[in-house]
Amino acid sequence: MAEQNTRRPSYVIGPDGQPLSIADLPAANTKRWVIRRKAQVVAAVRGGLLSLEDACARYHLSVEEFLSWQRSIDRHGMPGLRVTQIQRYRQNEPEGDEQHARDQREATAA
């Protein structure tokens, strides 16, 4: 069987524009997720430093939680990762996202 070549970069460019290596990532037991740490993990996954599965396992994240960080960065930049801003940003989501959220709430209530 052929061995897969899964070479990963030794570093990627982090959210602050500086090189980011595995050693620079937040500790695996991180409990307090500030904006910078979330953005570092997203940058590491996007750059191939960590796979999505590795990041979720290392930081005890669900795929949905990680993807929400990624969406927040895409839509609102790093300030979108601020927990206190989530409700404000959700109020400004496109109608399709609001409808999806309503559908999800109705499905879990039934």
**Which structural domains are found in the chain, ordered by start?**
12-92 (1.10.10.10)
CA-wise closest residue to 54 among 41, 39, 64: 41
Its pTM stands at 0.72
Helix (H) or strand (E) holding 72: helix 63-76
Please write the tens of the pLDDT for every residue from 55-82: 999 999 999 999 999 999 999 999 989 8
Distance from C-alpha of 99 to C-alpha of 94, rounded to nearest angstrom = 9
pLDDT tens column, 19-47: 999 999 999 999 999 999 999 999 999 99
Measured CA to CA, the distance from residue 37 to residue 110 in angstroms comes to 37
